[in-house]
Structure 1
Amino acid sequence: MTQFHFVKSSYSASSGECVEVATNVVGTVAVRDSKDADGPVIRVAASAWAAFAASA
């Protein structure tokens, strides 16, 4: 299985309600809930993530 290295945004709330993102795998961005590190991971193409981030 791919080893993702997740990071939390410096803008995350102190209550811990945020997502973590991993960009260390070429061509893939992985996203997970920071409160459930062992829970599901959403994987998207890096280009899709870039489009999402640009529109957010």
Structure 2
Amino acid sequence: TSDPLMKKLKEKKKHAKGRCATCRWLDICAGNFRVRSEAVTGDAWAPDPACYLTDEEIA
């Protein structure tokens, strides 16, 4: 696709930030819902604010 946002969404694990970027479960959830991150933080690539995992669980 030529749309930059669509390209990033297809490879969203590469663009994950914060705790998502180093989470051992990233291959399973792929950073979860980008629209929720965008709505809450203003950054589509910020960690999903609804992630229920503790820091110990993602390490």
Instruction: Quickly name the TM-score band, shorter chain normalised.
Output: under 0.3
- The TM-score normalised by the length of structure 1 is 0.26
TM-score w.r.t. the length of structure 2 is 0.25
Task: Name the structure where helix makes up a greater proportion of residues.
Answer: 2
